[in-house]
């Protein structure tokens, strides 16, 4: 067996296509196809079902992935492990998170951490495969290329350190001009008269996604997007009602909250890393930074800042 063929197999298993694996490995699809076919010949087993939508693992392919995942995880971590024991700086840590968490939480809280750890280099990757709503894909180790990941659902992988950070609350938002023209719904039944900016079909039905899956049965869908930024801008342009994290929607001047997390729900936030990496001081420092950042911004994450502002009495004029 050509052991290098296993690398091509894992790339196809993770990407679900020859083209995706080719981009990852820096080769053309013909090379990927040839190497996978070579591995199948050596093993005497069919590893993929070739479907119109991509490559799906067979039972034999699933079995091979299970055998290779621990090896792949250790080999991919070697450069980071050796770098962590090198001289000089505190080290470099790669952290995967969603765009919203990266921008509104981590980047906003990072300056103070940077002053305390000037020799630590933090690299934040906004890879949707690692930070998407729902379970992390088992195929393609979710911590293969990063040290720490923040996910919006409880991880299901085994050999990892996992900690729930809190909940990211969602609300329903729209532009004031849209609400003035179309009315402000007070209950879910009134959504039927509105246009919605929803989530992609097939998104894991958790929290706001589940709420939208019910609401859109009677309403009109104007747009679907997995991007928080795209949904926010579409709502600002008056396209309809949309679900946004409260820490995003509540601070946007061009939007008005219609329903809060008591109606739409929340998504769990989980911190995950490999057990061996958690023993490294620079990785632990970043993990503690994330935990502290969530604590400091918990009221915004849970959508409670908006409620406090609404309940504050207006100052009376002096006369």
- DSSP assignment of 164-204 equals EEEEEEEEEEE-HHHHHHH---SSGGGGGGSEEEEPPTT--
Q: Are 199 and 265 in contact (CB under 8 A)?
A: no
- DSSP assignment of 123-138 equals EEE--HHHH-BSPPPS
- For residue 295, what are its two tokens? 């604590």
In the prediction, which pLDDT does 319 show? 47
Please list the residues that pair with 56 across neighbouring strands: 49
Output the tens digit of pLDDT for each of the chain's 319 residues.
Answer: 788 888 899 889 888 888 888 888 889 989 999 999 999 999 999 999 988 778 889 999 889 988 887 777 666 666 655 655 544 346 889 898 988 999 999 999 999 999 999 989 999 988 665 545 554 444 345 566 788 989 887 776 656 788 999 999 999 999 999 999 999 999 888 998 899 999 988 777 788 989 988 888 888 999 999 899 999 999 999 999 999 999 999 999 999 999 999 999 999 999 988 887 888 888 999 999 999 999 999 999 999 876 544 444 445 555 4
Q: Are 261 and 171 in contact (CB under 8 A)?
A: yes
Identify the CA nearest to 69 among candidates 153, 154, 160, 151: 160
């Amino acid at each position: 067996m050509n052991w290098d063929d296993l690398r091509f197999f894992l790339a196809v298993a993770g990407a679900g296509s020859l083209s995706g694996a080719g981009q990852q490995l820096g080769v053309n699809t013909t090379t990927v196809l040839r190497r996978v076919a070579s591995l199948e010949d050596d093993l005497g087993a069919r590893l993929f079902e070739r479907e119109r939508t991509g490559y799906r693992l067979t039972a034999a392919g699933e079995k091979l992935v299970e055998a290779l995942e621990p090896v792949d995880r250790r080999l991919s971590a070697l450069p980071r492990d050796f770098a962590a024991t090198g001289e000089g700086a505190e080290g470099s840590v790669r952290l995967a998170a969603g765009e919203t968490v990266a921008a509104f939480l981590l980047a906003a809280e990072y300056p103070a951490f940077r002053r305390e750890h000037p020799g630590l280099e933090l690299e934040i990757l906004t890879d949707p495969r690692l930070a998407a709503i729902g379970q992390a894909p088992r195929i393609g180790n979710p911590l293969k290329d990063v040290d720490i990941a923040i996910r919006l659902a409880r991880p299901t992988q085994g050999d990892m350190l996992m900690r729930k950070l809190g909940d990211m609350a969602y609300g329903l938002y729209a532009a004031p001009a849209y609400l003035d023209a179309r009315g402000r719904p007070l209950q879910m039944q009134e959504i039927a008269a509105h246009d919605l900016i929803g989530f992609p079909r097939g998104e894991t039905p958790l929290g706001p996604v589940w709420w939208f899956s019910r609401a859109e049965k009677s309403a009109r869908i104007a747009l679907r997007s997995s991007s928080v930024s795209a949904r926010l801008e579409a709502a600002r342009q008056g396209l309809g009602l949309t679900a946004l994290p409260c820490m995003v929607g509540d601070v946007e001047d061009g939007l008005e909250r219609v329903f809060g997390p008591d109606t739409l729900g929340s998504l769990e936030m989980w911190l995950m890393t490999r057990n061996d990496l958690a023993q490294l001081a620079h990785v632990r420092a970043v993990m503690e930074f994330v935990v502290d950042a969530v604590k400091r911004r918990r009221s915004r994450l849970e959508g409670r800042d908006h409620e406090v502002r609404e309940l504050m009495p207006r100052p009376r004029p002096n006369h």
